[in-house]
A and B are shown apart, each in its own frame.
Chain A
């Protein structure tokens, strides 16, 4: 598939370079890497949600054929391994600060790769068995005898926050490890005091998990001579994994090399180090052979970082005309068993008011520990939750106070003249055509024609509903990124960058940048991201930072290359740099018709002997940038559903989206991101849930038999449009595109479901809106006249 440079430039829907490799099974994922003499690790996981470990007897396991080692928490401490280097918040100056309102420091407790003393969730690793085959390791694992003293468990978010709840950590005063007061209490009280209407909404945004198509896997070898660990493991980025691994192993960072090639899905799930990665490295040193571990799907459900899980109480105050006056409430995020990450709580609460004019707001924000797997940022961390809350509040306000829901949005949506706008938490929305994008989405979704479609559906016995949701997405994440671009004389261009593709198509979209700016053939651009011996700095793929930061560092590097190349070309063409123009990969000498190509110039730099020092050597440049402003993608989605009122089943029949990405490098990839994002949001709205048994803390949704994923036949063909209002805070006007599909999807789907059931008097359906929940909502709304529900 050869494409000319012109058709591979920025803005072109170039087919993805990586797809032929990936769809023909030629990708190289973590489990595809095998090393000579490798042996295999199997993890022995806690079967209890909360228990003291009395004793771990490894003798029988050690005697089992093929078993080389059985390692426990005691061995880990003896070998000097350190706890995870948890940072509950990624430090980015654009996000709000979160501190305890009583001034005490945040509670944090060490987490080691193996449980010590206590297990705090089902699936926590207690021991590791290393053997010559996977089967032998499994046999050994079955023989590890662990004595437990069971303790009561708490998994529910609100229950865990109660003062009398079972405490996970004896050292803590309660399970609440962060209790912050955010926004402006006085101004909010004043707003509520003069409100004509107050609308209240209480909900739980249920816990879900990322379910990457490729389960995690890792293989590590240790070189006793150089004392170096080489870990092959897919992740969101190689550099962060290297640093985290070095911290746990307590070795200098240069003693660790991390490698990864293809990564089959991330969504935040793969953003951080896992205990198993440190354990295989440690085991490789202990047994003197490479150690490999591959996650089973069941382990993945138990032990992949999970997402969402936010309990919200919110109130919205409006004046008699429907102007928003203030909002207030409480958000409780469930962090799971360890103080690993509180980021989604902050990422949500700081933009609770979305892109609406909100004079004041005040939210209590808490993070609570519970006997569950840890949560981490999951596609659009924190924002889908709060956009859902805001958009539900608006629909409830319209219903309860008699406003038209579109007019209510139009009235309160920020106009372009009001931007940049500082929201009640101090977040500064940079720019955007919020009204225009909503109107476009309403048109794309044919809001005007809905009444006719509803009537037609009614004739078939179906309840049809329509919903709308606006959103804004704060993109921050790790602020620093480095990119290095090298023009090789043989016609290749290499880009070294710390942003690993987890399916986003960087090999294509990053190459398009280079093709645009250096005028080189698209096919000849190579992206190198997954080897820490080459990539020294980089924040990885998360938080809408991939293209946003890659474009900046590649742009800066490209400009330096053109500048240096221009001076070289001037020498070669016996002229002055001011007379040289760079165009389509060639340096042109003005008015002469004479020119020299980029690669010839690169060759001259390495071959000519009499060059000035700063021009000699490879034609290469790097850019190391720390970007302290946030990106603010936004958009509007419209969803239409049909409900079978007898069974309560929902079918999404139309879905339209307009998303502003500032500038789309590859519109086809952007559309694909939005499609996938919508599917992920629909999954949460209708299907998915990590279901922990309240009494025992057992995970009841531990396989695809019980964890419902959205499938192609759960979704209609989407209508997606890209809006391109350049962002003034990004040098190239770009806004992130990876999370916007998901951010409004929860709210828009539930708004449509509730609209479909409005005729029954249904005001809300919790997520996932399962058939039973819908059936019950209809029945309860119909009480005391249940007969009408069965019409």
Chain B
């Protein structure tokens, strides 16, 4: 770890002020990816701005037909929240399956989606439910938020404040873990929303993506048999020592069915 300055302001305005004053400062949320990166000297920042002191970024509220989760809310809070369980049980289920208890107690929803790890769980939930990412500057639709490998639409001085999830008629998440890291080798989030069926895939590609053919099929008939013969192309999917693109493509098919099955057996 290289030396860096450390700030822990109590308000979002102070965070923004520090960031705009120092170009190469990095925002620290739960630190589950950033701290190991620093420890291994894979990244170097002259300062960190810890969001842990900003109380307004924490908490879960119901806002009409939406569930709003503060950016600094840890996974464990989402996993055990009665509010989430009532509104979108599949989201609580997703949070329960992230990492291990230590990661769930420290890691946050804002940190996870800002990092946009291609194998993280939350991006599948955010994109699958068609959520809106709130920042200190604007509101970004999930479809516009995830841009690529570890890449989002966030501008350098922009900070996620919350994620607003529209309630779904039904939703389900299914994943296969990579055996070493236990990140999603492939994870599929399926949601039947007011604006149609959405299927989001994580782990399989360089970034979370929508499985449009499956959406179209499920739009006609929201059951597993509707997916027979619907496949995702292996071309462009991830291939590494844990799995080939071909196997990942196969898993997308199987897990989409399982996510539908989970959604149907667990309607909101």
A647-B179 in contact (CB<8A): no
Which of B241, B247, B250 makes the CB contact (< 8 A) with A701?
A: B241
A707-B180 in contact (CB<8A): yes
Interface residues of A toward B: which range? 20 to 34
B180-A775 in contact (CB<8A): no
B241-A138 in contact (CB<8A): no
A772-B244 in contact (CB<8A): yes
A708-B179 in contact (CB<8A): yes
B243 interface residue per 8 A CB criterion? yes
Chain A residues with CB under 8 Å of B1's CB are 135
Minimum CB distance partner of B3 in chain A: A135
CB within 8 Å of B: which of A647-703? 647, 649, 686-687, 689, 691, 700-701
Tell me the complex Cα distance, A770–B178, Å. 10
B241-A700 in contact (CB<8A): yes
CB within 8 Å of A: which of B170-201? 176, 179-181
B251-A706 in contact (CB<8A): no
A66 interface residue per 8 A CB criterion? no
Interface string of B55-73 (1 = CB under 8 A from A): 0000000000000000000
A691-B241 in contact (CB<8A): yes
Interface string of B1-41 (1 = CB under 8 A from A): 11100000000000000000000000000000000000011
Which of B181, B240, B251, B254 makes the CB contact (< 8 A) with A704?
A: B181
A135-B1, A706-B242, A775-B250 known; A770 and B180 CB under 8 Å?
no
B247-A772 in contact (CB<8A): yes
Number of B interface residues at 8 Å Cβ cutoff, please give it: 18
CB within 8 Å of B: which of A694-737? 700-701, 704-709
Tell me the complex Cα distance, A689–B2, Å. 32
B180-A708 in contact (CB<8A): yes
A771 interface residue per 8 A CB criterion? yes
A704-B180 in contact (CB<8A): yes
B40-A770 in contact (CB<8A): no
B180-A706 in contact (CB<8A): yes
Chain B residues with CB under 8 Å of A689's CB are 241
Main secondary structure of the interface of A (DSSP, over half): loop
Tell me the complex Cα distance, A691–B250, Å. 24
Tell me the complex Cα distance, A54–B61, Å. 63
A646-B254, A701-B241, A706-B241 known; A771 and B176 CB under 8 Å?
yes
A709-B180 in contact (CB<8A): yes
Chain B residues with CB under 8 Å of A772's CB are 243-244, 247
Which of A135, A647, A706, A775 makes the CB contact (< 8 A) with B181?
A: A706
B242-A647 in contact (CB<8A): no
Tell me the complex Cα distance, A43–B32, Å. 27
B121 nearest CB across to chain A (Å): 16
A771-B176, A775-B247 known; A138 and B41 CB under 8 Å?
yes
Minimum CB distance partner of B181 in chain A: A705
Tell me the complex Cα distance, A566–B254, Å. 77
A138-B41, A691-B241, A700-B241 known; A647 and B180 CB under 8 Å?
no
B254-A705 in contact (CB<8A): no
Interface string of B231-262 (1 = CB under 8 A from A): 00000000011111001001100100000000
B179-A770 in contact (CB<8A): yes
Tell me the complex Cα distance, A686–B180, Å. 11
A699 nearest CB across to chain B (Å): 10
Tell me the complex Cα distance, A700–B240, Å. 9
A687-B254 in contact (CB<8A): no
CB within 8 Å of B: which of A407-431? none
B176-A647 in contact (CB<8A): yes
Minimum CB distance partner of B185 in chain A: A771
Tell me the complex Cα distance, A689–B179, Å. 11
A691-B241, A775-B250 known; A649 and B41 CB under 8 Å?
no
Chain A residues with CB under 8 Å of B176's CB are 647, 649, 771
Chain B residues with CB under 8 Å of A590's CB are none
B161 nearest CB across to chain A (Å): 30
Minimum CB distance partner of A686 in chain B: B179
Chain A residues with CB under 8 Å of B242's CB are 706, 770
A626 interface residue per 8 A CB criterion? no
Chain B residues with CB under 8 Å of A709's CB are 180
Tell me the complex Cα distance, A298–B36, Å. 12
CB within 8 Å of A: which of B124-175? none
Tell me the complex Cα distance, A680–B217, Å. 45
A531 nearest CB across to chain B (Å): 34
Chain B residues with CB under 8 Å of A135's CB are 1-3
Tell me the complex Cα distance, A298–B41, Å. 12
Which of A647, A686, A706, A776 makes the CB contact (< 8 A) with B254?
A: A647
Tell me the complex Cα distance, A689–B241, Å. 10
B41-A647 in contact (CB<8A): no
Chain A residues with CB under 8 Å of B40's CB are 298
The residue in A138, A687, A705, A707 that gathers the most chain B C-beta atoms within 10 A of its C-beta is A705
A337 nearest CB across to chain B (Å): 21
Minimum CB distance partner of B41 in chain A: A138
Minimum CB distance partner of A134 in chain B: B1
Chain B residues with CB under 8 Å of A775's CB are 247, 250
CB within 8 Å of B: which of A186-236? none
B41-A705 in contact (CB<8A): no
B251-A647 in contact (CB<8A): yes
Chain A residues with CB under 8 Å of B179's CB are 686-687, 708, 770
Tell me the complex Cα distance, A386–B62, Å. 61
Tell me the complex Cα distance, A708–B180, Å. 4
Minimum CB distance partner of B40 in chain A: A298
A782 nearest CB across to chain B (Å): 13
Chain B residues with CB under 8 Å of A687's CB are 179-180
Tell me the complex Cα distance, A771–B2, Å. 39
Minimum CB distance partner of B179 in chain A: A708
B98 nearest CB across to chain A (Å): 15
Minimum CB distance partner of B250 in chain A: A775
Chain A residues with CB under 8 Å of B250's CB are 775
Tell me the complex Cα distance, A705–B103, Å. 14
Chain A residues with CB under 8 Å of B2's CB are 135
B36 nearest CB across to chain A (Å): 9
Tell me the complex Cα distance, A775–B247, Å. 8
Tell me the complex Cα distance, A142–B40, Å. 13
Minimum CB distance partner of A768 in chain B: B179
Chain B residues with CB under 8 Å of A704's CB are 180-181
A7 nearest CB across to chain B (Å): 37
Minimum CB distance partner of A646 in chain B: B254
Tell me the complex Cα distance, A9–B40, Å. 49
Tell me the complex Cα distance, A701–B251, Å. 23
Chain A residues with CB under 8 Å of B3's CB are 135
Chain B residues with CB under 8 Å of A298's CB are 40
Tell me the complex Cα distance, A665–B167, Å. 62
Interface string of A338-374 (1 = CB under 8 A from B): 0000000000000000000000000000000000000
A144 nearest CB across to chain B (Å): 15
A237 nearest CB across to chain B (Å): 32
A-B contact pairs, 27 of them (CB 8 A): A135-B3, A298-B40, A646-B254, A647-B176, A647-B251, A647-B254, A649-B176, A686-B179, A689-B241, A691-B241, A700-B240, A700-B241, A701-B241, A704-B181, A705-B180, A706-B180, A706-B241, A706-B242, A707-B180, A708-B179, A770-B179, A771-B176, A771-B247, A772-B243, A772-B244, A775-B250, A776-B247
Q: A647-B176, A706-B181 are in contact. List 16 more A-B contacts (CB 8 A).
A: A135-B1, A135-B2, A135-B3, A138-B41, A298-B40, A700-B241, A701-B241, A704-B180, A705-B181, A706-B242, A708-B179, A708-B180, A770-B179, A770-B243, A771-B176, A775-B247
Per CB-CB distance, the 3 closest pairs between chain A and chain B, nearest first, are A708-B180, A708-B179, A772-B247
Residues in A lying within 8 Å of B, measured CB to CB: 135, 138, 142, 298, 646-647, 649, 686-687, 689, 691, 700-701, 704-709, 770-772, 775-776
Residues in B lying within 8 Å of A, measured CB to CB: 1-3, 40-41, 176, 179-181, 240-244, 247, 250-251, 254
